[in-house]
Amino acid sequence: MKLRTKITTLVGLAALASMGVSGAFAQTLEIVKERGHLRCQVGAPTPGFYNLDSDGNWYGIDVAICQAVASAVFGDKSKLEIQSVTTQQRFTALANGDSDLLSRTATWTLSRDTRLGLDFMPPNFYDGQGFTVRKDSGITNAMQLKGAKVCVTTGTSTELNLTDFSRENDLGISNVTFDDFNVRDDTYLNGGCDAVTADKSALAGNLAAFPVPADHMILPITLSKEPLAPAVRQNDSQWANIVRWSVFALINAEELGITQANVDEMRANSKNPSVLRILGAEGELGEGLGLDKDWAYNIIKNVGNYGENYDRFIGDGPQGIGIAREGSLNALWTNGGLMYSPPMR
């Protein structure tokens, strides 16, 4: 089913200073149910995270979070309006109630968590910032970017990280800023910049779409910590809990070996109490969330577990961008990564 898409234009972030957090948004679950679908915000199409197929359907690991929450609330992942919002307007769109949920490679930082009227949820991808350069430039180390012009998207933590990196290492890098990452990359490809910087996952996805990907490389350096996480408005703990535990349900399902293919068999035949609880065969885990007992079962049935979505969209799946999970921070905690769910009991 094709998801409804909305291209949103809103006032600038300056409005947040006078807006505050309205009590009108304190019951997001009821608002979403009355409307009949979830409004979930992503960005401009980005490989691996939120992209459009040839039929206009959105897909990606961040879209899977949107679908998981829609499944938890409605039992139907298609009860969803995907909103494509610019980087500059993304936090305003959430804070003013135009979006119910932000799921779009947004880095969780202290200032964003405390000054924008938002609450960040558990990260669904751990990333880090890097550089793409031309192989024939002779640049193999970021310290060789002294005096370079570097293309970067404006209004992002990426831009601030680049400035900090240049100052710390006395490199005198010139930031060449763009609102649109497509224009940014075109400028780099046409020689307007010596390098382009972004999260390494985004660099990998965009590089794959370059005319000759083999002419470019991502430098080994990682500039920053980029925990990419969904976000909701502050002061609505019930809605925050629903989103938070929807993310944890994806991770916990993988820990327990529950997949989209075996979820019905596991619910019917498993002897593991943890499996029976998460799938609603025992207990009332949905009660505290204001959801029915099948909320997590519906997530896994409709969307799959975290690992399935990683493989499908970030790894080597047909829609993936080829970023290996093994040995990365995005592996399960049992495999040395940071993907960890508190007990669901």
Q: pLDDT (tens digit, 9 = 90+) per residue, 252-280?
A: 999 999 999 999 999 999 999 999 999 99
> Is the predicted pLDDT of residue 288 greater than 50, yes or no?
yes
With a pLDDT cut of 70, the percent of the chain lying above it is 92
Lowest mean pLDDT among 10-14, 20-24, 273-277: 10-14
Average pLDDT over residues 205-210: 87
CA atoms in the 13 A half-sphere facing the CB of 132: 27
Average of pLDDT values for 300-321? 96
Q: What amino acid is encoded at 187 in this protein?
A: T
Strand partners, 38: 80
pLDDT at 22: 43
pLDDT at 86 over 60: yes
- CB-CB contact of 88 with 179 (8 Å): yes
The full length of the chain comes to: 345
Look at residue 136 in the predicted model and tell me its pLDDT. Answer: 96
E strand or H helix at 274, and its extent?
helix 273-278
Residue with tokens 């905690």: 333
Section 325-342 average pLDDT: 96
DSSP per residue over 13-65, as a string? TTHHHHH---GGGTTHHHHHHHHTSEEEEE-S-BTTTBEE-TTS-EESHHHHH
105-157 tens-digit pLDDT: 999 999 999 999 999 999 999 999 999 999 999 999 999 999 999 999 998 88
- One-letter amino acid at 19 equals M
Write down all domains in the chain, each with its CATH number in brackets: 4-126+228-335 (3.40.190.10), 129-224 (3.40.190.10)
Q: State percent of the chain over pLDDT 90.
A: 86
Residue 38 pLDDT greater than 80, yes or no: yes
Q: Can you state the angle between helices 306-313 and 237-256, rounded to 10 degrees?
A: 80
pLDDT value at position 138?
95
Average pLDDT, the chain: 92
The model carries a pTM of 0.87
